Amino acid sequence: MTNHRVKNIVSTLLNSYSDIFFLKGLFSGFILLLITFINYNAGLSGLLSVLSAYSIALMLGYQVTFLKTGYFTYNALLVGLAIGYLFKISVLSLLMIFIAGSLTVIITIVIAHIFYQLFGLQVLSIPFILVSILVYLSASSFTNLYVVSLYSQSHLLELGFLPFWLSGYFKALGAIIFMPNEVTGCLIALLLLLNSRILFTLSLTGFCFGIVLYGLFTGSIETAAKDVSSFNYILIAMALGGIFNIPSLKSYAIAFLGVAIATIIASAGHVFWSQYGLPIFTLPFTIVTLTFIYMLNLLDYPLRTKIYKNTPEQNLDAFLANQGRYVTENTALSLPFKGRWHCWQGFDGDWTHKGIYRYAYDFVICDSQKKTYCNQGKSLTDYYCFGQEVLSPVRGRVVKVIHYLADNSIGSVDTVNNWGNEITIEDARGFMVKLAHFANQSIYVVEGQIVEVGTVLGLCGNSGQSPQPHIHIQVQYGISVTAATMPFVFVNYEQSGNYHSSGLPEVHSDITHCQFDLYYDQLSNFVLDERFTYDVYLNDQKQADLTFQITMADDLSYYFKTAKGKLYFGKQYGNFYFYGTTGNDPYLSLMYLALSTMPLSYAPQLKWSDNINNDLVLNYVQANSASLLNSFKTDAVSTHADYHYVDENTVKGKVINKFFGVELDTLIKLDPLSRFKEIEVAEYRFVLQSKI
């Protein structure tokens, strides 16, 4: 067996264990594997069940890449633990473990596909519930199995001095892996605490809230705490409060509502399943969690987890750092002009942008006195923007052109032809862009023509219902003159000295179009398989050599790769980004801080800001404190970076966390051949040694 195959099996096995408690990492899985062997029969049964499921999935041709995550095998692990809880290891129980593990992975693969395709949901523990019910019901008639393999549970794993609620909490945690005792639960609680303070807190508070509510309904909180099926409250609280939703007060409220609903389902489940001698398993957790996730998807709940990191803390930190960082609007437009213009009217404008036409912008050119014209302003040519080029804000197909209408003289408007001379462009993203009030016979494009961003469409004029020359732009749902407008954003502009990668310009202020510059595209153009080596200095004393290679991931993303970690990068809408780091290379983190983002355009002293992950600048205690505080008050602790161009080849910055008083000065020197020639972050300095 090759080393690669062994690594795949180990990854599948250990990830299966960690997935049960929503943990990530092979170490957590290994600790949980050891904990299951507190009960030898259950531990070995679970291990063999996962191996059986993995072998069957491989035999059927399922991809190893998917199996390595543990997602398709943790249900088989739970089934194995359930069998091992009832029956000691024997030939008959081994046969049942193999059959049940195989059936579980087959059901998991089928249901996972159906649920994802139809509902966009994960399977959670549905396969475990189905197979466990089948096993428990069928085993009742397998009399030989009971005679040979049934065994009594040990009672030597109780601490005996804990208050009833803490004892119940530990037993409930242990019951998740079919070991309802205080020692097992205590070890699992410690593992949760070490991995995530948020998950640990949710597990404890969710349990306490559930037993108190259930106890109030039944008359005894202590009896409710002794019900080991209360582990469902733990799983629901962790899933809804920290895993499938970004930790926040609202997500916590959703989690506790889910726990409250689970008390009813648990009570009803006990009544129903007891008739067949069955435990309730994870039925309340599965029903409540899947229902809430589906409902929140329908409602487009903004705090849903899109990409899960290793812990809720990291998830929250990444969510807060990425807010507003990227262009997320599907309807993102480039500005329809060159240079500096004045935002005359925006959404819900003072004059004409009303009703179904509310989403539109008007632009003019003003002088230093905020006048739009020179001389007396009685002639069209007095107006600064008259006859200026109008650029295409999108790539698309021209579907409508009107070019023959006369320009209005100042003081009169055309009330019949509202838009005057106009161009409508169909964008491949599914919307139309209308630009209006062109000068008479000034349009350069024809219907059916494909235009690129920045293509000159025509000249600014004063046709239609226009009191003075200006550019009107709107996004609409169709080509009809009565088509309703829709929201949009502009990308890559400067306002009041600050660069905006996307947003809505402030009305009655100047705005400059920061046009894409091939020079800066080249400066940030890292080619696959290139290798860079830097001398790393700390306070001018050489510390190490840093060598990284440009590598491409399976999802076609690019990253700097070192022996210790990865730094992902890319470009979007005319901006260069460092997306984030994985692994444990502090030098890559410093490079991220030096220039987390950069506009691929230039203006003297152009300034821009970016959000930074707290854990890149804070120590372990500070970062965890920040995550806990941010889960109750968004942005209670935040880190941001302010950058600016010193000249065309130098960027300075400052990374600031006001809460903890952290400030780091940064500098990066750019070169079209060597890319990032020199990098400084606080006392560290990176000097390019070679590029291959």
Rounded to whole angstroms, the Cα distance separating 526 from 521 reads: 10
Report residue 98's pLDDT band, with 50, 70 and 90 as the boundaries: very high
Q: How far is CA 647 from CA 47, 151, 526, 671, 686, in A?
A: 61, 78, 22, 12, 20
Q: For the segment 169-205, what is each residue's pLDDT rounded down to a tens digit?
A: 999 999 999 999 999 999 999 999 999 999 999 999 9
Q: What is the largest CA-CA distance in the chain?
A: 106
Kindly provide the b/e burial profile for residues 467-500, where b requires at least 16 CB atoms within 10 angstroms of the residue's own CB.
Answer: ebbbbbbbbbeeeeeebebbebbbbbbbeeeebb
Nearest CA-CA partner of 506 in 344, 330, 356, 372: 344
Least confident piece of the model among 81-95, 98-112, 164-178, 584-598: 81-95
**Which CATH superfamily is 332-487 part of?**
Glucose Permease (Domain IIA) (2.70.70.10)
Share of the chain above pLDDT 70, in %: 98
Rounded to whole angstroms, the Cα distance separating 185 from 144 reads: 33
Q: For the segment 619-670, what is each residue's pLDDT rounded down to a tens digit?
A: 989 998 999 899 998 889 999 999 999 999 999 999 999 999 999 999 999 9
Residue 400, both tokens? 């409508």
Q: Which residue has the tokens 């069955």?
A: 278
pTM of the complete model: 0.86
Domain residue ranges in the chain? 1-154, 162-308, 332-487, 519-691
Q: For the segment 223-239, what is each residue's pLDDT rounded down to a tens digit?
A: 999 998 899 999 999 99
| Inter-residue contact 240 to 206 (CB < 8 Å) | no
Report residue 146's pLDDT band, with 50, 70 and 90 as the boundaries: low
Q: For the segment 284-318, what is each residue's pLDDT rounded down to a tens digit?
A: 999 999 999 999 999 999 999 988 888 999 999 99
Residue type at 45? S
Give strand pairing partners of 680. Answer: 667, 685
Q: Over 80: is that where the pLDDT of 277 sits? A: no
Q: For the segment 52-68, what is each residue's pLDDT rounded down to a tens digit?
A: 998 998 888 887 776 78
CATH assignment of 162-308?
1.10.3430.10
Q: Over 60: is that where the pLDDT of 271 sits? A: yes
Across the chain, what does the average pLDDT equal? 92
Q: What is the mean pLDDT of residues 463-478?
A: 95
Return the number of other C-beta atoms located less than 10 Å from residue 46's C-beta: 33
What pLDDT is stored for residue 579 in this prediction?
93
What pLDDT is stored for residue 374 in this prediction?
94
DSSP summary character for residue 229: G
Domain 1-154 identical in fold to domain 332-487: no
Reduced to 3 states (helix: H, G, I; strand: E, B; else coil), residue 68 is coil
Among 271-280, 321-330, 544-553, top mean pLDDT goes to 544-553
Q: What is the mean pLDDT of residues 82-104?
A: 90
What pLDDT is stored for residue 5 in this prediction?
80
Report residue 70's pLDDT band, with 50, 70 and 90 as the boundaries: confident
Give strand pairing partners of 511. Answer: 341
Rounded to whole angstroms, the Cα distance separating 566 from 429 reads: 33
CATH 1.10.3210.10 fits 1-154, yes or no: no
Q: Over 80: is that where the pLDDT of 4 sits? A: no
Q: What is the mean pLDDT of residues 492-507?
A: 94
Alpha carbon distance, N-terminus to C-terminus of the chain: 37
What pLDDT is stored for residue 147 in this prediction?
63
Q: For the segment 387-396, what is each residue's pLDDT rounded down to a tens digit?
A: 999 999 999 9
Report residue 15's pLDDT band, with 50, 70 and 90 as the boundaries: very high
What pLDDT is stored for residue 612 in this prediction?
94
Rounded to whole angstroms, the Cα distance separating 264 from 560 reads: 52
